[in-house]
Structure 1
Amino acid sequence: MPPLRERAALAAYSLGWAVTRRAPERAAYAVFDVVADLATRRGGKGVERLRAHLARARPDAGPAELDALTRAAMRSYLRYWCDAFRLPGWDRARVLDRVVAVNQDFFVDAMRSGGGFVGALPHMGNWDHAGAWACAVGGPVASVAERLRPEELFERFVAYRERLGLRILPLTGGGNVVAELRTWLRAGNGVCLLCDRDLTASGVEVTLLGEPARLAPGPALLALQTGAPLHPITVAYAPGARAGAHGIVITFHPEVPVPATGTTREKVTAMTQGVADAFSAAIRERPEDWHMLQRVFSADAP
């Protein structure tokens, strides 16, 4: 039997999917705003780490501005979770109508060409909504999921994302995920990976928001090995819209070039730095939509 903490997590998420999806929309988002505000006032390691990340994005911000930005960021983070619990009930029209896509031809043209497409994303806005949109507009897209505990919770998240149209591979405990993604790309499909956090201790050190940070090398490595174009993708909530009527803005950034010379490691590092540069610009523009409550920067204690 899973430990009590794991069983509690499974129960909480199961309740979220069961209750939030059926609640009136405006009421559901209002409740999640209240939860976000309570979590912000309570603080804790995750909230303090988020505040430190926001200070890097807005280095000139004073304490009052950082307080307001942290509150807004926690509301954005909880909005993501309210979305996640409600997304399975959205129809195709709602998924598409609530998206503004900037430079979407980078994605659509690559998918039509049959050469595959690699997208590198930070934890910004609602990446699940972006994935559902991508599958509806461009064709088959695969991603990778961290293996959560208990196993039933992991399976619930996999099923949730597969209902959105995504193909989900486990990061660990499955087959050779890199080999599977290479095969998938060479068949002309898309791969979109969250990479602003190193989960495997194989990350490369780059500069993010002006400081050393370790990012996952997977997107760059896959693009290098398959020849598929690598594009950073950032997602933000549409500004000014009330919760429940909001949408997202998906920005496809220009292709990251492959260096002409260097070892594989050097090329992957240079390409990952290109990804980090796009992330830095997007985070500085909309820091409240970067949902990062975990360690990213090399200077931070574990």
Structure 2
Amino acid sequence: MSLREPLVVGAFRAAWRFARVVPEDVAVTASRRVADRLARRGGPRVEQLRRNVAHARPDAGPAELDVLVRDGLRSYARYWLDAFRLPGWTRERTVGTVRMDHGEQLRAALADGRGAIGFLGHLGNWDHAAAWSATELAPVVTVAERLRPEEVYEEFLAFRRSLGVEVLPLGDPATFGTLLRRLRAGAFVPLLADRDLSAAGVEVDFLGERVRMAQGPAALALATGAPLFPFGLFHEVAGGRRVLVIDVGPQVPVPDRRPDETSREHRRRAVAQMTQACADALAAVVVAHPDEWHVLQPVFGQG
């Protein structure tokens, strides 16, 4: 363990306790002030967010980008605040502050026991969406990057289990096989796929550039026959309440195999086309809600 790791664990636990014990309005105000301070101070992560958001709004001038970065950091801080407080929410709040749009195909697939796969970006609050889905749709199984320090990773596993979500480790050779079994048993498998963390991703066009995104969602759909849906997550205020909108895109079709294609060639082409369809759907949501795209790491120039 490095000398820095105990500090990270301590800071994480302090933030977790603070978010849970103070009144919500106080915590929201504090999170916004922290976000605004970070926006003014800048730094590598803030500048990376600025570069990412600029791809969604290429005509934005410096002043508009300043506002988008500030709002993006406020949204990201609110994500963490809500995530820390989620285990203490009532079922009524967890369920009652979510609206799913265009989810008929998804519900039908899960009701038939076929399982379903979601292609998600780092938008809105995916932990809240997963908690809602575990209650309202089907058992939820997903994959997460193994964080350092290990204690923080274990805390997050316990947190997501408390929401009814099974989390499998990214990079474990057994993970893909487990996902296959869970899908065949009727589970819902939403996967964050807008960043390729495996070095085995697929090149796609995204917001005017070539980038790499995870191939897992398309590969699982091909292997199991479970339908693949792109998802958009963003917030609206309705009736005085902040509501998480889960916007389900149309099912992504599997391309027909060409007469001259081998099965391997068809799989490679199908994964690329299906991932591109998901990237197109994600791009539309990011353009509409750039402040809710929580990516402070490099995305562009990685293709």
What TM-score, normalized to structure 1? Answer: 0.95
- AA in 2 matched with 1:230: L
Post-superposition shift, 1:298? 2.5
CA distance in 2, matches of 1:265, 1:212: 17
Aligned to 1:293: 296
Give CA-to-partner distance per residue, 1:48-68, whole Å, 9 cap, x none. Answer: 111111111011111111111
Separation in 1 of the partners of 2:5 and 2:82? 23
Contact 1:57 1:209 in 2 (8 A): yes
The Cα shift of 1:240 comes to 7.5
Pair 1:259-2:258 in alignment: no
Deviation at 1:107, TM superposition (A): 2.2
Assess if the C-alpha contact under 8 Å between 1:241 and 1:247 holds in 2: no
Cα pair 1:108 1:137 within 8 Å, conserved = no
Cα shift at 1:175: 4.9
TM-score, structure 2 length as denominator? Answer: 0.94
Give the Cα–Cα distance (whole angstroms) in 1 for the partners of residues 235 and 113 of structure 2.
Answer: 30
Does the Cα contact within 8 Å between 1:120 and 1:275 map onto a contact in 2?
yes
Deviates more, 1:118-127 or 1:38-47: 38-47
| SS of match in other structure, 1:278 | helix
Give me the whole-angstrom Cα distance separating, in 2, the residues matched to 1:299 and 1:85: 32
User: Which sections of structure 2, spanning at least 5 residues, go unmatched?
Assistant: 258-264
Partners of 1:241 and 1:289 lie apart in 2 by: 21
Q: Report SS of the residue matched to 1:202.
A: coil
Contact between 2:97 and 2:242, CA under 8 Å: does it hold in 1? yes
Find the aligned partners of 1:39 and 1:190 in 2 and give their Cα distance. 36
- Alignment match, 2:243: 247
CA displacement at 1:263 relative to structure 2 = 2.3
| 8 Å CA contact retained: 1:120, 1:194 | yes
Amino acid at match of 1:183: R
Q: Is the contact between residue 52 and residue 298 of structure 2 (CA under 8 Å) also seen in structure 1?
A: no
1:20 aligns with 2:19: yes
Whole-Å separation in 2 of the counterparts to 1:134 and 1:78: 23
2:138/2:186 contact within 8 Å kept: no
**Corresponding residue of 2:278:** 275
2:160 maps to what in 1?
Answer: 161
Please give the alpha-carbon distance, in whole angstroms, between the structure 2 residues aligned to 1:144 and 1:91.
25
Name the structure 1 match of 2:195: 197
Q: How many residues align?
A: 296
2:184 partner letter: R
Percent identity of paired positions between Structure 1 and Structure 2:
48
SS of 2:186's partner is coil
Moved over 6 A (4+): none
C-alpha distance after superposition, 1:78-112 (max 9, x if no partner): 00011111111011110111011101223221110
Tell me if the contact between 1:32 and 1:75 (Cα under 8 Å) persists in the aligned partners: yes
Rounded to whole Å, the distance in 1 between the matches of 2:71 and 2:238 is 13
Which of 39-48 and 270-279 deviates more? 39-48
For 2:138, the equivalent position in structure 1 comes to 139
Cα distance in 2 for residues equivalent to 1:238 and 1:164 = 23
1:218 aligns with 2:216: yes
**Amino acid paired to 2:225:** G
Superposition deviation, residue 241 in structure 1: 8.5
Residue identity opposite 1:252 in structure 2: V
Check if 1:230 corresponds to 2:233. no
| 1:114 equivalent in alignment to 2:113 | yes
Contact 2:212 2:302 survives alignment (8 Å): no
Shift in Å at residue 5 of structure 1?
A: 2.0
Alignment partner, residue 207 of structure 1 = 205
Q: Which of residues 278, 282, 287 in structure 2 aligns to 1:284? A: 287
1:131 counterpart SS class? helix
Report the Cα offset of residue 20 of structure 1: 1.0
1:182 is matched with 180
* Local SS of the residue matching 1:263: helix
Amino acid at match of 2:48: R
Query: 2:261 is matched with which residue?
Result: none
Question: Residue 246 of structure 1 aligns to a residue in which SS?
Answer: strand
> Residue type of the partner of 2:235?
Y
Shift of 1:145: 1.1
